[in-house]
């Protein structure tokens, strides 16, 4: 969930009369798009249905002994990580956007980098660093600090680790807001004679609230999507509960019910975010220019640099260096040999998922341009629903579908097959492709479509000559973002992958979970390296705003 999911403004301005007319002509296309949209919603529909399935051998045990912990820990994690990420991301954004101090130029992009580290990798890297044999403990010993307790495998430790890799969501949304919109407000405050502190307190922070809330919302959604870090830290939550019910207890019905409860949390959170945004809707000045940064001097400058460099070091430089150091202890010939098979598995599942995503999103976007009415708007939007839903929930929905299929057609097993995994990826990540493709086709092809239609061009000509060429750039962008997200994905892959099918992500997690830290280093570093690509793209897009 890298790109902030900003709900784009109303795009439903249509003329109902002419829309009806074109609708009857192009009914086939609309039906195909509607079918595609419904298909992508099937895991959720299945989940709703699954709640009413009788049985669930372990359910009583789960409700009596585990559910309270799941709820408590999940809530503490959401609030704790959200709060800490808000503090880190918000303070860093204000610091680098409004102030000038040594190193600020390279710190601005660098502070985004920890976003490239998936939480399950961060978890084991941090635990490893603070272990008895790890570098931090060695450092403490070197300074003569014997017996310093450095166990971080507890709830507060997990909160800190997750906040360190997730704070860039808040940092990025706050920075975009600060740098694109607030300059005239800041100047206005200054021309009214307001001091810097007063401007910050009275103007900047209140105005920044919606952006900060948006960032925190993304952080919380990522916390709900996490499985690997929680499992590694041994903290029982809804996600780890779903895995336990399915893998350890073999109880799909209980897993479905837990997934449903998690889904309700997601819905509540989204609703809360939506409500907040409506309440804090402000019409903003549309002038945009970079704020003139105040130059910090002396102690203040030193403190600012130390703080920002410190966060960068702890959140990114240290874990990555540690993984590199670990890799030097790995059996390198075995690691290299294995790497090729892991990477090719990652690419096979990744590319098939990406192709499916492109098919679904391009189809619905094309129909949206072809027939501009409320229905096609809803169809094209609904594609991105899966992006807000944790992978574990989608995976459980897919398992229900798979078991239904084998109930209806005896002997047909789709569970644990590559097509099912690819389809689940499409459900989860279609929203990633929706953003760039929708932006591009709304921006560029809308008017041209109308022009071509008025010249009497038929539908296939529209598709071939206008839609595909105009969205080509967006398609490439969307495809690479989707592919990268799939390569990093863990919980969904763990549940739905074919037997003995290991990807870079699953193997990095499994080795770490089995305490084979050195072996985990290479796949983990590969995933981080791939993950830096969208971070760099994010940085570029932030610069251009």
10 binds other proteins (CB under 8 A): no
User: Which window, 186-194, 259-267, 321-329, 358-366, contacts other proteins (CB under 8 A)?
Assistant: 186-194
Q: Are 291 and 98 in contact (CB under 8 A)?
A: yes
Question: Which one among 24, 191, 328, 500 touches other proteins, defined by CB under 8 A?
Answer: 191
Residue where the block lists tokens 């932006």: 439
283 binds other proteins (CB under 8 A): yes
190 binds other proteins (CB under 8 A): yes
CB of 290 to other proteins, least distance (A): 12
116 binds other proteins (CB under 8 A): no
Question: Which one among 8, 138, 195, 344 touches other proteins, defined by CB under 8 A?
Answer: 195
Which residues sit opposite 99 in a β-bridge?
294
Q: Smaller CB distance to other proteins: residue 180 or 415?
A: 180
Instruction: Select from 366, 382, 424 the least CA-distant residue to 37.
Output: 382
- What is the C-alpha separation between 101 and 372, in angstroms, rounded? 50
465 binds other proteins (CB under 8 A): no
Residues 241-280 that bind other proteins (CB under 8 A): 280
Measured in degrees and rounded to the nearest 5, phi and psi for residue 237 equal: -135, 180
- Specify the pairing of strand 294-295 against strand 99-100: parallel
Instruction: Output DSSP code: residue 9.
Output: P
Those residues with Cβ within 8 angstroms of residue 286's Cβ, 6 or more apart along the chain or in another chain: none
CB of 226 to other proteins, least distance (A): 34
- What is the C-alpha separation between 261 and 265, in angstroms, rounded? 7
Q: Smaller CB distance to other proteins: residue 55 or 298?
A: 298
Q: Where are the alpha helices (DSSP H) in 281-331?
A: 298-312, 318-327
Both tokens assigned to 167: 């704070």
Measured in degrees and rounded to the nearest 5, phi and psi for residue 100 equal: -115, 125
CB of 68 to other proteins, least distance (A): 40
185 binds other proteins (CB under 8 A): yes
288 binds other proteins (CB under 8 A): no
Residues 290-349 that bind other proteins (CB under 8 A): 292
Residue where the block lists tokens 């495809």: 479
Q: Smaller CB distance to other proteins: residue 63 or 195?
A: 195
- What is the C-alpha separation between 103 and 421, in angstroms, rounded? 44
Q: Are 406 and 415 in contact (CB under 8 A)?
A: yes
User: Which window, 22-30, 46-54, 120-128, 193-201, contacts other proteins (CB under 8 A)?
Assistant: 193-201
Question: Which one among 184, 270, 406, 415 touches other proteins, defined by CB under 8 A?
Answer: 184
Measured in degrees and rounded to the nearest 5, phi and psi for residue 294 equal: -80, 130
Those residues with Cβ within 8 angstroms of residue 67's Cβ, 6 or more apart along the chain or in another chain: 241
Both tokens assigned to 464: 């071939």
Q: Smaller CB distance to other proteins: residue 7 or 280?
A: 280
367 binds other proteins (CB under 8 A): no
Give Cα separations from 541 to 176, 310, 425, 429, 535 (angstroms).
10, 25, 25, 20, 10
418 binds other proteins (CB under 8 A): no
213 binds other proteins (CB under 8 A): no
206 binds other proteins (CB under 8 A): yes
CB of 211 to other proteins, least distance (A): 12
Q: Are 376 and 30 in contact (CB under 8 A)?
A: yes
Residues 425-454 that bind other proteins (CB under 8 A): none
187 binds other proteins (CB under 8 A): yes
Question: Which one among 25, 60, 285, 541 touches other proteins, defined by CB under 8 A?
Answer: 285
188 binds other proteins (CB under 8 A): yes
Question: Which one among 68, 192, 412, 529 touches other proteins, defined by CB under 8 A?
Answer: 192
Residues near other proteins (CB under 8 A): 184-185, 187-195, 202-203, 206-207, 209, 280, 282-287, 292
């Amino acid at each position: 969930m890298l790109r902030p999911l900003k709900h784009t403004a109303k795009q439903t301005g249509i003329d109902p009369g002419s829309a009806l007319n074109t609708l009857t002509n192009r009914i086939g296309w609309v039906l195909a798009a509607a079918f595609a949209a419904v298909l992508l919603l099937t895991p959720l529909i299945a989940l709703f249905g699954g709640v009413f399935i009788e049985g669930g051998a372990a359910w009583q045990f789960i409700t009596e002994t585990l559910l309270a912990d799941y709820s408590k820990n999940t809530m503490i994690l959401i609030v704790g990580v959200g709060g800490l990420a808000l503090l880190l991301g918000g303070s860093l954004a204000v610091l680098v956007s409004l102030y000038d101090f040594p190193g600020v130029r390279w710190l601005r992009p660098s502070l985004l980098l920890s976003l490239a580290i998936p939480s399950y990798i961060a978890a084991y890297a941090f635990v490893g660093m603070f272990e008895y044999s790890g570098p931090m403990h060695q450092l403490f010993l070197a300074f003569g600090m014997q017996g310093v307790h450095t166990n971080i495998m507890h709830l507060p430790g997990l909160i800190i680790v997750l906040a360190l890799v997730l704070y860039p969501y808040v940092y990025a949304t706050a920075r975009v807001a600060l740098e694109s919109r607030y300059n005239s407000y800041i100047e206005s405050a200054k021309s009214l004679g307001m001091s810097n502190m007063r401007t910050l307190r009275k103007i900047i922070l209140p105005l920044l609230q919606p952006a900060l809330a948006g960032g925190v919302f993304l952080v919380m959604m990522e916390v709900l999507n996490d499985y690997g870090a929680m499992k590694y830290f041994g903290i029982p939550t809804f996600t780890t509960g779903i895995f336990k019910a399915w893998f350890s207890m073999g109880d799909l019905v209980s897993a479905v019910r837990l997934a449903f409860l998690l889904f309700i949390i997601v819905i509540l959170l989204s609703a809360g975010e939506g409500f907040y945004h409506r309440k804090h809707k402000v019409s903003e000045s549309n002038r945009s220019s970079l704020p003139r940064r105040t130059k910090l001097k002396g102690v203040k400058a030193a403190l600012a640099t130390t703080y920002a460099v410190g966060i960068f070091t702890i959140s990114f430089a240290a874990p990555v260096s540690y993984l590199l150091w670990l890799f030097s202890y790995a059996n390198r010939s075995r690691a290299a040999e294995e790497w090729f098979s892991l990477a090719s598995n990652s690419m096979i599942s990744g590319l098939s998922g990406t192709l499916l995503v492109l098919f679904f999103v391009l189809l619905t976007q094309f129909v949206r341009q072809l027939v501009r009415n409320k229905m096609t708007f809803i169809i094209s939007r609904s594609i991105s629903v899966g992006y807000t839903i944790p992978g574990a929930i989608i995976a459980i929905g897919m398992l229900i579908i798979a078991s239904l299929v084998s109930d209806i057609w005896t002997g047909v097993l789709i569970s644990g097959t590559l097509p099912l995994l690819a389809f689940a990826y499409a459900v989860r990540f279609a929203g990633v492709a929706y953003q760039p493709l929708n932006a591009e086709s709304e921006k560029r092809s809308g008017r041209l479509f109308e022009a071509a239609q008025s010249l009497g061009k038929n539908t296939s000509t529209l598709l071939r000559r206008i839609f595909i060429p105009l969205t080509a750039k967006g398609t490439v962008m969307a495809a690479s973002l989707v592919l990268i997200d799939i390569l990093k994905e863990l919980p969904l892959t763990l549940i739905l992958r074919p037997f003995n099918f290991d990807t870079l992500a699953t193997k990095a997690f499994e080795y770490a979970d089995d305490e084979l830290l050195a072996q985990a280093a290479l796949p983990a570093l590969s995933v981080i390296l791939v993950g830096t690509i969208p971070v760099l793209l994010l940085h570029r897009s932030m610069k251009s705003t």
